[in-house]
Structure 1
Amino acid sequence: MATNQQRREAAKRKLERQLTRRAERARRRRIVGVGVTIGAVVVAAGLVVILATRGDDTAAEGDAADASGTPDASANNTPASIPTERVAAPERPEPLPDPATCEYPESGQPAKEVSPPSGESVPAGGTVDVTLESTVGEIPLTLDRALAPCTVNSFVHLAEQGFYTDTSCHRLSTDGLQMLQCGDPKGDGTGGPGYSFADETFEGLNYGRGILAMANSGPDTNGSQFFMVYGEAPLPPNYTVFGTIGDEGLTVLDEVARAGHDGSSQAGGGTPHTEVRFTDVRVAAA
């Protein structure tokens, strides 16, 4: 039988073993903690380097490239490519009555003071040449009365009253739909002339490079806003085509598109990085 002295010594040895194990566990925890801390510092440093690099790419304004040296088209919302071939100008399967009668009912508050055009005896044949003089160059247009007499009548009327002068194109789209939208003096896509008019669309209507068409917010909601297609435009035939864009104008639009946009539009695209402001709109004498 163990004596009291032996029991005390055994208890002491047991306590010493427990203290040793606790010290070892504490030492291991400290080692792991240091390792985690070092790892966190390394990760944080890596993130700082990455963010700093991204900041430099942003400051470069379009000079971002991948490892192969190819420009990153998405860095500034620029088009990956722009087709060079025009689409054929559309033609109505059946001519409209000439002259046409148009209606321009009141719709909202005008973004600029302007009266609605007359809708009586509107020509439905022939073309009208218009030049959009802008801060980035001239954009010549040919308006086709046979395609959309009421639209051409409204556009010419607004141009002659100075509605489009000193207005900026507020939306550029470069991905999928490639177009520049203009015609709102407010510059945010909500402005119009204070009247509307019906769509002048037809089955088989296609869109693509060189086409001039009306923007809308639904059936028969045309006003003053229009869009110029410089590339692809996979759209349903819901937008009135009323003319074409000259070669000089397409060159201007290509340059604007390649500068990209800020991605701010919920409808797609955004404000162009290169401002397009109309300094004058000239309508050629009939």
Structure 2
Amino acid sequence: MFETSDGLKLHYRVYPATAEETGPPVLCLHGLTRNLKDFEDFAPKIAGLGRKVITATQRGRGGSDHDPEHARYNPGVYTQDMLALLDHLGIDRAVFIGTSMGGLMTMVAATMAPQRIAKAVLNDIGPELDPVGIARIRSYAGKTDGRFDSWQAAADAIRAINGVAFPKETENAFWLDFAHKTCREDEGMIVLDYDPAIAKSVAEGGDTDVDLWPLFDAMKDIPTLVVRGEITNLLMMSTVEEMQRRKPDLEFVNVPDVGHAPFLTEEAAWSAIRHFLD
């Protein structure tokens, strides 16, 4: 556990490189309602490329403390936490891999401390967000009761919400695994593993209309790969095209048959990331 400057304890994991080290460590940053378990399959693959991997759960989720000051549930605070975690681990520079909110954090880090980012992967996120995807997130984040009487019931509920993003995933095992990544056991029940207050800013509109392009422009000198779910409802192709116009060296991959957001272990995503890190 790592203690933040305001006294909260955050859960993190370090995966040592399992091959000869080939470059800076990799920091994996999850999405709004998720936690470090999102990277349980991805992190060992990165470690196998000769990279130390750090995964962390942001405040208010999983094994990390909930924040009594709900206003601190925002990407700026999360990013400061992660920079402090890198300091704690003695890491000067890392490759930042951010899914959704984690990608926003990566862009924020580029404004706070660009020298800390060796390379960046933005997973299904950009400086403009499709209103359709925002509406979908608002429809469920922090809104459901989030308590289930079995893991199967949890898997069924998660499939009802996320099935549109993974239409080819028809096996129950995938959805049970998804449930185990996003829920926990609590007094005989299965519950969503986050503080509902984390979604307050998104549910109420929050800062979704803020101009985020200056955050992306801060990445102009940082090698960057954008991973997009081909059927995503959050990252529009028009946004990717503008990102490419502003940053001609931007690398890009579409992941077939996946929406928001790829797990990064998909063949197309993994191949692009492996090449990008090499």
- TM class by shorter-chain length? under 0.3
* TM-score of the superposed pair, with normalisation by structure 1: 0.24
The structure carrying a bigger helix percent of its residues is 2
TM-score by length of 2: 0.25
Structure with greater Cα Rg: 1
